[in-house]
Structure 1
Amino acid sequence: MKGSLILANGEKFTGQWQGKPKDHIGEVIYFTGMGRFQEFITDPANHGKIVISTFPGILNSDLDHAKFESDEIQIGGLITQQDASMTINEKGLKILDLFYDQNIPILTEMDTRALIKRIKKEGEMPALLSSKHTVNRLSGQMEDVHHDFGTEFINTNGKKHIVVINFGYKKSLMQTLSDSGNKVTVVSSIIDLNLMNSLKPDGLIFSGGPGNPSQWQKFFPVYKMLAMKYPTIGFGLGHQILALAFGANVEKLPTGHRNFKEAVIHTSSNKVFLSSQNHGYTVDGKDLNEIGFRISFKNVHDGTVEGLIHEHYPVATYQFHPEQANNHINELIFKDFFTTVYDSKGASVYA
């Protein structure tokens, strides 16, 4: 069966539809990786996105549920050059089967090179993925990603109590925190201050997640108040939200950073690290000192802000994400955070 991808600029690309008939509207992005595909498609930051894969054999990727960043596929659709009939998996499992089970469409035998050229020229944009290949225009709205997550108790005992504000956390973050020996609780990004006060956190983590950080604007005063009160760290979307809450500006990138080997430089040591990133927005680096921030990491390739430290409050944020495996950048991030948490000695007010 034929299917189509219709870009917001009106261009239409046709391929072979794999899956049940449906329409899906989402932002179209691309993934250049030859590995970690299972981590990428299950990353909550990709919720609803239509992903163009540049690697021609991506449907042959291995499947290991232990490496999934969430319990299900998060992307809204996949575009690949690969012929679906050529997929092979030595364990007898197929990416196609996983997509079929979760009703996520795939368009195969697509001209991915032409698509990437459009995205690089015009930027990431909304698109319609449709099994009705006669559709000739983009209509409707992208799915809202402003979720109200409930409370989860990950570790009920530990030395200190770390509370994660959940915008769409990755399992690798929970694994790192579970291994830290601390009590861990996850709460909704729609903050209940009574609940937060009853939890008596020793430190806060603003998780990563999908979407435009300005969607949470009405909560910025509360987020800022909490970050001024407790040792706080933010990743990905959480980094952007905290920056906005303190008065910074955030801009849309023409094409996002979506790589597990994105080079960043630590400004105080001039050491370069390879980081895991998946985002389409960036914090504007201008006038950050006026709101008390200094830049701790920059992107090696385009100079964009990759990390911030507040000069007056125990707040550190990172555009990149901790990895599942231990590495030097993980050690740097969490050593500083847990040192701050333990040095607070139970005091929570820093204002």
Structure 2
Amino acid sequence: MGMNKNDGNGFSSEPQASVTLHLVPPSASMATKAPGFVVTDLTSVFRSNTSSNRSKVRVSIVRCSVQVSSDRTATGLPPWKQFDARLVLEDGSIWRAKSFGASGTQVGEVVFNTSLTGYQEILTDPSYAGQFVLMTNPHIGNTGVNFDDEESVQCFLAGLVIRSLSPSTSNWRCTEALCDYLAKRNIMGIYDVDTRAITRRLREDGSLIGVLSTDRSKTDEELLKMSRSWDIVGIDLISGVSCKSPYEWVNTTKPDWEFNSNRRSEETFHVVAYDFGIKHNILKRLASYGCKITVVPSTWPASKTLEMKPDGLLFSNGPGDPSAVPYAVETVKNLLGKVPVFGICMGHQLIGQALGGKTFKMKFGHHGGNHPVRNLQTGHVEISAQNHNYAVDPASLPEGVEVTHINLNDGSCAGLAFPAQKLMSLQYHPEASPGPHDSDYAFREFVELMKQEKKVKA
């Protein structure tokens, strides 16, 4: 490969030096447990000093190897990862796969997520408790993981189902590989499974209960029986993801990612946030808008909340069936109308029930970062991130409650407002950034609600 004399683009038009690319065969010392290939770039820079020129040339040695487990070669097994896991769905279908992360047997509801990126936020979203998340994007793991993108202190989902596990990572923020991350957190994952076919099945039949297992001692019939004997409906999943005692949240959005600092309120508002499975980014956005935040458990009594004299209340996102947590509905009911309220996802559904409305289980729910939502008040369309299996039936709501947003994919209710009760709610995540910032205005509107209430009381 010749180097050319500088033509204004950093290249030289006169031949200077040649570069040879060496493909180095794998050695036993390069063996690892992960499947696929590894490419190692060993780059050196040297100078070519001649009487006519001087230039820099990069020489790269690229190591390509099939990543093989050393214990597999020692036992005479094939050097590639074999199918060692099964996903058995309640409809009787059995899907052979390869495992990564933790091992064992786990039961959960299988849902598909259409996000192209952000798998770490999905892994740490408490709203996925009790569910296997199937990613429709086929290539997962290529950016690794980093601790800045976590939405909670642990992973709550039952397992991860993907088509292709990236054998290497390529991102400047990466601190750990996905397979190692899941293994440390005891979360099961499978790959090399036909996620496209499973997604079509879920779209046609609805969300299905499944059992994921790496245990060869269990028969397919045993796993099928397990999937048919468990149901996510009616289970209180919130109590398992909520905090156990109140705490103050002070962290704002980091300066590198902040985009609305100029809209920060001059006043400080005290917000009590009910943790039904709250995401860190919700708290960061509220703090970035100048709010002082006290986070309380899902079972925190309404009377104690009112004793704190908050300027506003946040009812957060969370997992599962809102009808399975009547204590939370009762708490919301006792607080509506007292101070301005903002509900997100589960909080939106609890508000709907507290107002006397009904919620229902959707066929396969909304899970992904590309859902179009129309704001009926402005006419604008937002690209939103969503994660829910239940929705509010707007026909069941009392007079005076306004539907402010609708999901353009299926027309379902995506937002509510009740001016008489000083409340607003969204069925999607305004703190997420798929649009990238289409829905962040909701936090500003909540601040305005609190500001108006303060003026009235003054």
User: When the two structures are superposed, what TM-score results if normalisation uses the length of structure 1?
Assistant: 0.91
Counterpart of 2:168? Answer: 88
Unaligned 5+ segments in structure 2 are: 1-82, 252-266
Structure 2 CA distance for aligned equivalents of residues 97 and 164 of structure 1: 33
Counterpart of 1:297? Answer: 405
- Whether the 8 Å contact between 1:172 and 1:322 is mirrored in structure 2 is no
Unaligned 5+ segments in structure 1 are: none
Counterpart of 2:237? Answer: 145
Counterpart of 2:51? Answer: none
More deviation in 143-152 or 299-308?
143-152
Return closer, same or farther for 1:315/1:211 CA change in 2, 3 Å cut-off. same
- Whether the 8 Å contact between 1:285 and 1:305 is mirrored in structure 2 is yes
Counterpart of 1:107? Answer: 190
Percent identity over the alignment is 28
Counterpart of 1:9? Answer: 91
The one of the two structures with greater contact order (alpha-carbon pairs below 8 A, sep at least 6) is: 1
Structure 2 CA distance for aligned equivalents of residues 33 and 324 of structure 1: 12
- Whether the 8 Å contact between 1:87 and 1:94 is mirrored in structure 2 is no
Return closer, same or farther for 1:39/1:271 CA change in 2, 3 Å cut-off. same
Structure 1 CA distance for aligned equivalents of residues 310 and 175 of structure 2: 46
Structure 2 CA distance for aligned equivalents of residues 311 and 178 of structure 1: 24
Structure 2 CA distance for aligned equivalents of residues 129 and 335 of structure 1: 43
Task: After TM superposition, give the deviation of residue 304 of structure 1 in Å.
Answer: 0.5
Task: After TM superposition, give the deviation of residue 172 of structure 1 in Å.
Answer: 0.6
Counterpart of 2:110? Answer: 28
Structure 1 CA distance for aligned equivalents of residues 304 and 318 of structure 2: 22
- The code of the aligned residue for 2:337 comes to M
More deviation in 27-36 or 234-243?
27-36
Partner SS for 2:431: coil
Return closer, same or farther for 1:20/1:268 CA change in 2, 3 Å cut-off. closer
Counterpart of 2:292? Answer: 183
- Whether the 8 Å contact between 1:3 and 1:15 is mirrored in structure 2 is yes
Counterpart of 1:230? Answer: 339
- Whether the 8 Å contact between 2:102 and 2:182 is mirrored in structure 1 is no
- Whether the 8 Å contact between 2:368 and 2:385 is mirrored in structure 1 is yes
Quick check: 1:316 aligned with 2:424?
A: yes
Return closer, same or farther for 1:16/1:3 CA change in 2, 3 Å cut-off. same
Structure 2 CA distance for aligned equivalents of residues 144 and 4 of structure 1: 27
What are the superposed Cα offsets for residues 22-42 of structure 1, whole Å, 9 maximum, x if unpaired? 111111011222211111121
Structure 1 CA distance for aligned equivalents of residues 225 and 288 of structure 2: 46
Counterpart of 1:306? Answer: 414
Counterpart of 2:46? Answer: none
Task: After TM superposition, give the deviation of residue 44 of structure 1 in Å.
Answer: 1.1
More deviation in 202-211 or 63-72?
63-72
Structure 2 CA distance for aligned equivalents of residues 200 and 282 of structure 1: 31
Larger Rg: 2
Counterpart of 2:210? Answer: 127
Task: After TM superposition, give the deviation of residue 302 of structure 1 in Å.
Answer: 0.9
Task: After TM superposition, give the deviation of residue 266 of structure 1 in Å.
Answer: 1.0
Task: After TM superposition, give the deviation of residue 330 of structure 1 in Å.
Answer: 1.1
- Whether the 8 Å contact between 2:144 and 2:175 is mirrored in structure 1 is no
What are the superposed Cα offsets for residues 307-329 of structure 1, whole Å, 9 maximum, x if unpaired? 00114210111001122568342
Return closer, same or farther for 1:346/1:151 CA change in 2, 3 Å cut-off. farther
Task: After TM superposition, give the deviation of residue 291 of structure 1 in Å.
Answer: 4.3
- Whether the 8 Å contact between 1:128 and 1:138 is mirrored in structure 2 is no
Task: After TM superposition, give the deviation of residue 230 of structure 1 in Å.
Answer: 1.0
Quick check: 1:56 aligned with 2:138?
A: yes
Counterpart of 1:154? Answer: 249
Counterpart of 2:307? Answer: 198
Structure 1 CA distance for aligned equivalents of residues 303 and 431 of structure 2: 32
Structure 1 CA distance for aligned equivalents of residues 455 and 300 of structure 2: 22
Return closer, same or farther for 1:95/1:243 CA change in 2, 3 Å cut-off. same
User: When the two structures are superposed, what TM-score results if normalisation uses the length of structure 2?
Assistant: 0.70
- Whether the 8 Å contact between 2:126 and 2:156 is mirrored in structure 1 is yes
- Whether the 8 Å contact between 1:176 and 1:324 is mirrored in structure 2 is no
Counterpart of 1:216? Answer: 325
Return closer, same or farther for 1:63/1:287 CA change in 2, 3 Å cut-off. same
- The code of the aligned residue for 1:52 comes to L
More deviation in 164-173 or 126-135?
126-135
Return closer, same or farther for 1:283/1:335 CA change in 2, 3 Å cut-off. same
- The code of the aligned residue for 1:314 comes to K
- Whether the 8 Å contact between 1:77 and 1:104 is mirrored in structure 2 is yes
